[in-house]
């Protein structure tokens, strides 16, 4: 594996800029989720069920926000979308850590609706900053940044919350997000390639078609597999009395994803997201056979190798089937489907854990991923065969 593609991407100042901003702005997002849960249970003295309800409302708001704000970026540009986010989220989170449960739910929902759409912005910015032949590598770097934020955000937030309390920590975390948003607004990185800056608005019906829908379902299925298996692994470690090894397991899992993402970005040719999702499901299933933290960590390292490549391949495929002028909304839908998949994966796994145990939970979410991959791959094959006679006739 050669690192030359990464040197070319990171040699581009605009690419470095948006990749770093994407990393820094995602850390508060990942940290806020677990911090809110602790805040509701420990600071407000409410139940875990109530904490889960608040988390679900905030997650739903973020999922709704993605396509809506992505479409606004396509139409009005980055600054006119980020500016309202700074005011609304800044005001909401300046108050939210210090109010009761009901008002906190309202403010967290409003904050979710107006959250800076950093996943959409980062991916659009990265795509615009590099030529087409470097797109896979750049998106792989962005995928590694997501993994790093996912690993570090909750850990830093929980540590700070236990040291100084969840309320002040929530305030600081969100104000850091606002500060990062100010930097993003000031830098105003381009969201389209220079040749497409004047691209006209295209009707949604021209791209919101079965190929794009299949990619969104694949994105949702990938997070069903990932989040569902994570919940099952936590249950397994609790059953074994090895909760203290959670850090080891998730570190191995994350390391596998980073290695897989780097390797995928260095490849000269991409792979189908349906093939990668099927592979992810198949390498996740053996985790149901684990009997100790060290075994599940080793299997998690293996499963992690296909996490980042699956997501990267899906994002790259979206850029091929959606016009540049609609990319913001499309990325918003794609990201929202990943968020919805996360919201589905946890309760599905929880239901299976309560009824038949953690092993069946892992197998069920892996089966969901495999079935979606097979269905999406079959649909893509049919579409390709239908297009071929038209291309030959032309």
What are the tens digits of pLDDT across the range 216-249? Answer: 999 999 999 988 888 888 888 888 888 778 778 8
* Average pLDDT for the chain: 86
Q: Are residues 136 and 158 in the same domain?
A: yes
CB distance 326 to 277 below 8 Å: no
Q: Is pLDDT at 341 greater than 50 in this prediction?
A: yes
- Count structural domains, the chain: 2
The pLDDT value recorded for residue 244 is 78
The pLDDT value recorded for residue 321 is 87
**CATH for 91:** 1.20.1250.20
- Distance of alpha carbon 155 from alpha carbon 22, whole angstroms: 18
Q: Are residues 320 and 390 in the same domain?
A: yes
User: How many other C-beta atoms can be found within 10 angstroms of the C-beta atom of residue 66?
Assistant: 25
Q: Are residues 152 and 266 in the same domain?
A: no
Q: Supply the range of the domain harboring residue 378.
A: 206-394
Among 193, 221, 251, the domain-final residue is: 193
Among 134, 164, 193, the domain-final residue is: 193
Q: Are residues 189 and 233 in the same domain?
A: no
Q: Are residues 285 and 319 in the same domain?
A: yes
DSSP annotation string for 80-110 = HHHHHHHHHHHHHHHHGGGS-HHHHHHHHHH
Q: Are residues 111 and 154 in the same domain?
A: yes
Q: Is pLDDT at 131 greater than 80 in this prediction?
A: yes
Q: Are residues 255 and 148 in the same domain?
A: no
CA dihedral 28→335→317→181, nearest 10 degrees, is: -40
Q: Is pLDDT at 132 greater than 60 in this prediction?
A: yes
Q: Is pLDDT at 312 greater than 60 in this prediction?
A: yes
Compute the average pLDDT of residues 370-384. 84
Q: Is pLDDT at 384 greater than 80 in this prediction?
A: no
Among 193, 222, 251, the domain-final residue is: 193
DSSP helix/strand/coil, 289: helix
Question: Which candidate, 155, 39, 162, places its Cα nearest to that of 93?
Answer: 39
Q: Are residues 189 and 147 in the same domain?
A: yes
pTM to 2 decimal places: 0.82
Residues 6+ positions from 268 with CB-CB distance below 8 Å: none
The pLDDT value recorded for residue 197 is 53
- Distance of alpha carbon 55 from alpha carbon 104, whole angstroms: 11
């Amino acid at each position: 594996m050669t690192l030359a593609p990464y040197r070319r991407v990171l040699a581009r100042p605009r690419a470095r800029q948006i990749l770093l901003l994407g990393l820094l702005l995602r850390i508060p997002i990942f940290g806020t989720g677990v911090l809110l849960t602790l805040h509701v249970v420990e600071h407000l003295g409410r139940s875990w069920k109530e904490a889960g309800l608040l988390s679900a409302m905030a997650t739903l708001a973020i999922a709704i926000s993605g396509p809506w704000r992505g479409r606004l970026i396509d139409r009005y540009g980055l600054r006119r979308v980020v500016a309202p986010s700074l005011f609304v989220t800044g005001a909401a989170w300046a108050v939210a850590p210090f109010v009761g449960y009901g008002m906190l739910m309202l403010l967290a929902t409003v904050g979710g609706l107006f959250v800076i759409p950093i996943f959409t912005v980062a991916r659009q910015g990265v795509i615009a900053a590099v030529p087409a032949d470097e797109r896979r590598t750049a998106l792989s770097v962005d995928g590694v940044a997501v993994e790093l934020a996912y690993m570090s955000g909750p850990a830093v937030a929980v540590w700070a919350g236990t040291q100084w309390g969840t309320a002040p920590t929530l305030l600081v975390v969100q104000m850091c997000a606002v500060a990062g948003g100010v930097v993003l607004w000031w830098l105003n990185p381009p969201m389209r390639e220079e040749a497409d800056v004047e691209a006209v608005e295209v009707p949604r019906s021209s791209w919101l078609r079965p190929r794009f829908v299949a990619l969104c379902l694949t994105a949702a299925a990938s997070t069903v597999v990932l989040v569902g298996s994570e919940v099952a692994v936590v249950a397994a470690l609790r059953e074994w009395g090895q909760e203290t090894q959670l850090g080891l397991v998730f570190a191995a899992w994350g390391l596998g994803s980073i290695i897989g993402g780097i390797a995928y970005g260095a490849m000269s040719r991409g792979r189908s997201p349906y093939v990668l999702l099927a592979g992810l499901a198949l390498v996740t299933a053996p985790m149901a056979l684990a009997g100790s933290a060290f075994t599940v960590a080793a299997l998690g390292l293996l499963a992690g190798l296909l996490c980042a490549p699956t997501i990267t391949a899906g994002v790259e495929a979206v850029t091929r089937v959606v016009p540049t002028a609609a990319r913001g909304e499309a990325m918003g839908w794609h990201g929202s489907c990943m968020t919805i998949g996360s919201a589905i994966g946890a309760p599905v796994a929880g239901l299976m854990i309560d009824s038949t145990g953690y092993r069946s939970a892992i197998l069920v979410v892996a089966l969901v991923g495999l079935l979606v991959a097979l269905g999406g791959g079959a649909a893509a094959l049919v579409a390709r065969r239908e297009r071929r006679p038209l291309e030959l006739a032309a």
